[in-house]
Amino acid sequence: MSGPSWSEARHEVEDLLVGGDRTLRRAEVADRAGVPLERTGRLWSALGFPRVPDDVEAFAESDLDALADVEDLLAQDAFDEDEALAVARTLGQSMARLAEWQANLLRRVIAERGTADDPEAVVDAVRSLVPLLEKLQTYTWRRHLLVTAGRMMSSLADEGADDGGRTTAAVGFADIVGFTSMSRRTDSDELRALLERFESVSNDVVSRYGGRIVKTIGDEILFVCGDVGAACDIAFALHDEVPDPDGRLALRIGLAYGDVLPRYGDVYGPTVNIASRLTSHARPGTTLLDDEMTDAVRAAELDVELRSVPALHVRGYKHLKPHVVRRSS
């Protein structure tokens, strides 16, 4: 007996991923959940999904359950409707990136098994691998939440909740020197390997010293750290460990210290902007600090060397007085 066609296999994969048959229209989901149709459309769009025509049966019981969960969160005052849309956008963007990576992983596994031309084998791969990826994803999320919840509770114990959500931290940017020209003269496989090295080493270094990578933007990372000494250690270790044996991947780093506003996993405020400006003016292999970071380093009596450099006049900040920081010789 022949196996499924590609069309049949696609429908089977879609049912596996959505958790059942899709027999509901958009209006039916909204009606059964007791949610205004317009609100469901806004949430769907915020999650990053394309609009579904009203007459198409594109939704399953899992979609209804998710909408009911959102309503429960609203009822418990976890957030208001505007915040719900912001949360949906953040979740959608994060999950879209994860889904893209996971789909590429599945594609590679299927190709390596030599079953890319067999629809049934593709369905079997999805059936066996996706639940494992989902479990790993949930585990990782809970472990990260454990760490951030600990920081939150310590902050509440020390300072209370009336801080507008702001926190004080060292903010760092690190980017690869000359990446644009490097990308023009490097083939795709080699460039992919270099970026993988940059991301992998950066992740190891930042987490090793208790920092957090906020995001990776191509050839640049943004990280935060609550301790100025650890932030300097991160910078030193990045300079030491990221360059490959051929001496490529030299970095320039900027560190600023002050108030930041965390919002849905990202960080905002002048401290972030200053760190970015410093990075763009740092020389290859060096780290520039702003005034506040320099003062904090001195107050902590760290075993480092500080050297002043000429003032910078950059967009939005006319009189930055940076210092280069190095390990003590």
Report percent pLDDT > 90 for the chain.
52
Cα(first)–Cα(last) distance of the chain, in Å?
Answer: 74
Query: Which amino acid is located at 102 in the chain?
Result: Q
Query: What does the pLDDT look like over 82-99, one tens digit per residue?
Result: 888 888 998 998 899 899
pLDDT at 162 over 70: no
Q: What is the pLDDT of residue 156?
A: 65
Contacts of 121 (CB under 8 A, 6+ apart): 110, 113, 115
At 156, list the tokens: 């509440």
287-289 and 251-263 as β-strands: parallel, antiparallel, unpaired?
parallel
Report helix angle 6-18 to 119-159, nearest 10: 20
Mean pLDDT of 167-190: 90
Q: What is the pLDDT of residue 287?
A: 98
Q: How sure is the predictor about 77, in pLDDT bands with cuts at 50, 70 and 90?
A: confident
Query: What does the pLDDT look like over 297-327, one tens digit per residue?
Result: 999 999 999 999 988 877 777 778 999 999 9
pLDDT at 148 over 70: yes
323-327 and 251-263 as β-strands: parallel, antiparallel, unpaired?
unpaired
Report percent pLDDT > 70 for the chain.
95
Least confident of 107-111, 135-139, 160-164, 198-202: 160-164
Q: What is the pLDDT of residue 65?
A: 92
Q: What is the pLDDT of residue 163?
A: 55
Q: Domains in the chain and their CATH numbers?
A: 6-157 (no CATH), 167-327 (3.30.70.1230)
User: Which phi-psi region, left, alpha or beta, contains residue 175 (left: φ > 0; alpha: ψ -120 to 50)?
Assistant: beta
The larger pLDDT score, comparing residue 164 to residue 217, is at: 217
Q: What is the pLDDT of residue 246?
A: 77
Query: What does the pLDDT look like over 163-172, one tens digit per residue?
Result: 556 889 999 9
**Whole-number mean pLDDT of the chain?**
89
Q: What is the pLDDT of residue 147?
A: 82
Mean pLDDT of 193-212: 92
Closest CA to 125 of 145, 140, 103: 103
Q: DSSP 3-state assignment of 176?
A: strand
Kindly report the pTM of this predicted structure: 0.71
Q: What is the pLDDT of residue 158?
A: 61
